[in-house]
Amino acid sequence: MSLSPEEIEAAIPGVITKSLKKFTDPRGWLIELFRDDELPAGFEPTMGYISLTHPGVARGPHEHRDQSDGFIFISGTFEVTLWENRPDKAHAKVVILAGENNPLFMVVPPGVVHAYRNVGEHDATVLNFPDKLYAGWGKKEPVDEIRHEEIDSEFKL
C-alpha cells in the first residue's frame, strides 16, 4: 500500500500521484493542493467539490468515458483502489492509503476504475476537481459515469 508515484504510474499508465507537503508553523498548517504549472498536460479542472465520507463507507467503484478526476486526500484515512479497464492496457490493480498521514493529489484518467473507502475511525473528506462538468453545461447532459458496484470482478472492493 505504500507505492511510489513511479510504481503507480508503471502499474496504471496515466494515473498521476503527487505527495503533498504540509507546511506547519505556530498558527497551524498549509497544504498547497495543486498548481497549474504542475498539472499534467491536458488536465484542466472545470469544477470542484468536497465530500465527507463516514467510517467504513466506500464511494465507487466507477469510471468515466471522457472525464479525468483530480482527487485530493488530506483528511482521515482512505484506502484508494484503482484498476485498469481500458481495452488497450494490461489489467492492473493498485491499492494505496491516502489522507492525513499521506496527503496526496491524484489524477485518474478516463477508463480507470476508481473507488475509495474511509478505513479510519472518524469522518473524512476528499476534494475533487474533475475536468468535465457533472451532467454537462447546465446539468442537461447524460452523466459520464459507468458504475461497477454490482459487477462480479476480481477487483471488486
Over the stretch 66-109, which tens digit does the pLDDT of each residue have?
999 999 999 999 999 999 999 998 889 999 999 999 999 999 99
Residue closest to 17 by CA, chosen among 85, 73, 79, 84: 73
Instruction: Give the dihedral sign, CA 99/101/107/109.
Output: negative
* Torsion of the alpha carbons at 93, 32, 118 and 26, rounded to the nearest 10: 140
pLDDT at 152: 53
pLDDT at 156: 58
Structural domains of the chain ordered from first start: 5-21+43-132 (2.60.120.10)
**pTM for the model:** 0.87
Characterize 42-52 residue by residue with b for buried, 16 or more Cβ atoms within 10 angstroms of its Cβ, and e for exposed: ebebeeeeeee
How far is the C-alpha of 72 from the C-alpha of 105, rounded, in Å? 5
Q: Which residues of the chain have pLDDT under 50?
A: none
Q: Which residue has the cell 465507487?
A: 60
User: Residue 126 to residues 55, 72, 82, 87, 147: CA-CA distances in angstroms?
Assistant: 13, 6, 16, 29, 19
pLDDT at 154: 52
Using an 8 Å Cβ cutoff, are 76 and 122 in contact? yes
